[in-house]
Structure 1
Amino acid sequence: MARIKPQALLQQSKKKKTPSRISVTTIITFTLIVILIALSLYAAYQYWYPRQINDLHTNLNNFEQAAMFEEPKKASRPSYAVLDTSKGSVTLEIYKDAFPEVVDKFINLCQNGYFKGVLFHHVVKNYAILGGAKQTQGTAEDWTLKEQSQSHLAISPKHEAFMLGTKTTKEDSEGFELLITTAPIPDQNGKLILFGRVIKGEDVVQEIEEVETDENYQPKVPVEINDVTVKQDLWTAV
């Protein structure tokens, strides 16, 4: 076997190690593919990113609206009412969270002018002054504080003097019985709903309490409610 000379082996080794050349066409094709991929990614980003932002804003708006309307009445309920009577003005604080349905009804009636021209139809000394719809006023016996029958009832802290309330009625009743206590009264076992208190005008309430009444506790000289207006803050109420 013929021997290969060392110089020939060296030349063959150099030929094997020399890398093959990449054609220009391959480089251009590869570059175009990279550019197309980059453009596709950019187009996808431009399409999906704005949609995600819009969806996020939409979800936030929906959440805010849901939060706003979760308890709309509670947020919008006025906190005070001004009772304008023929004897003077009485400012009342409304307990908005006490009895929501009753408070909403009272506020709606005030805003619709329901109490304009309404009379205090019963005045019971050391008990309450009452005004409202005639169909709900009941008989005199309903509002008479009889010591024999009432003395065994405990005085509740919530039934103190100068509290704003109403008589419990049927849910479908359109009338509204408005009362202001003039003394601490016995717990009426659910017969009264108290949802506010007098913060200014106690003297007016006492003056109405002192009017002369007949045997049925009805004032001989009419005491009229000119209007009841509701306010959001104390400054406009007083």
Structure 2
Amino acid sequence: MSVTLHTNLGDIKCEIACDEVPKTAENSVLSLRVEEYWRMMFDVDKIVYPVYLIDSVSICSDLETEGKIRKGIEIVNFLALCASGYYDGTIFHRNIKGFMIQGGDPTGTGKGGTSIWGKKFNDEIRESLKHNARGIMAMANSGPNTNGSQFFFTYAKQPHLNGLYTVFGRVIHGFEVLDIMEKTQTGPGDRPLAEIRINRVTIHANPLAG
């Protein structure tokens, strides 16, 4: 499975590591009934944004089974957020040349964003998935087991991140867009001076799909 992030700088296509987790994680996302509820939700910065509620039965069957957290919840979370339009119009708020670029926060502050369950979820570190190349995609967090909606792309190998952040995908097309992102000048807090924005996201059932 793959997704394309349609940004204002061009498209980035990412392969999602569904083959690294049980098939139920992929199948539940493909069969999601995404219903859009426009609720008003205020965060600490008084920013209002829509919240999308995902079918609870489909999601919970992958989040927890007999009291045990299932594998692949970060993939279920990311794809469900993509399908709901949660990332549409969001910016990449942190950009560090030679290191990574981070986004996925609807508030654009680096302090916001939530999972589809409305709470943080645990890290899922897999030995087979490492920060070992340019374009690795991983969940951003503020410490152990604090994953929500934010994610990042690496600009190079970052072995010191292994074991600390949950890797769930990699860039397969659009490296030239990643190049443009990396060259974008930044200001205080590593914030890009020129906006880098996700306009929308397309989910592909096949990584080779157009």
Task: Show the counterpart of 2:168.
Answer: 195
Cα RMSD, aligned residues only: 2.4
Match of 1:222 among 187, 195, 200: 195
Contact 2:92 2:101 in 1 (8 A): yes
Contact 2:3 2:15 in 1 (8 A): yes
Taking the aligned partners of 2:101 and 2:154, their CA distance within structure 1 comes to 6
Amino acid at match of 1:213: T
In structure 2, do the counterparts of structure 1 residues 202 and 135 end up closer, same or farther at CA, with 3 Å as the change threshold?
closer
Task: Show the counterpart of 1:129.
Answer: 101
Matched, 1:111 2:83: yes
Residue 189 of structure 1, CA deviation: 5.2
Amino acid at match of 1:104: V
Contact 1:136 1:176 in 2 (8 A): no
In structure 2, do the counterparts of structure 1 residues 233 and 93 end up closer, same or farther at CA, with 3 Å as the change threshold?
same
Aligned residues: 141
TM-score of the aligned structures, taking structure 2 as reference length: 0.61
Contact 2:102 2:153 in 1 (8 A): yes
Matched, 1:80 2:53: no
Taking the aligned partners of 1:210 and 1:118, their CA distance within structure 2 comes to 20
Greater strand fraction, Structure 1 or Structure 2:
2
Percent of matched pairs sharing the same residue: 29
Task: Show the counterpart of 2:64.
Answer: none
In structure 2, do the counterparts of structure 1 residues 187 and 225 end up closer, same or farther at CA, with 3 Å as the change threshold?
same
Taking the aligned partners of 1:209 and 1:101, their CA distance within structure 2 comes to 29
Amino acid at match of 2:196: V
Residue 190 of structure 1, CA deviation: 3.2
Taking the aligned partners of 1:189 and 1:182, their CA distance within structure 2 comes to 15
Taking the aligned partners of 1:88 and 1:120, their CA distance within structure 2 comes to 14
Taking the aligned partners of 2:145 and 2:84, their CA distance within structure 1 comes to 19
Task: Show the counterpart of 1:101.
Answer: 73
Taking the aligned partners of 1:219 and 1:95, their CA distance within structure 2 comes to 29
Matched, 1:162 2:135: yes
Q: Structure 2 regions of 5+ residues with no counterpart?
A: 22-70, 112-127
Task: Show the counterpart of 2:92.
Answer: 120
Taking the aligned partners of 1:157 and 1:100, their CA distance within structure 2 comes to 13
Q: Structure 1 regions of 5+ residues with no counterpart?
A: 1-78, 139-155
Taking the aligned partners of 1:111 and 1:119, their CA distance within structure 2 comes to 17
Amino acid at match of 2:16: I
Amino acid at match of 1:91: K
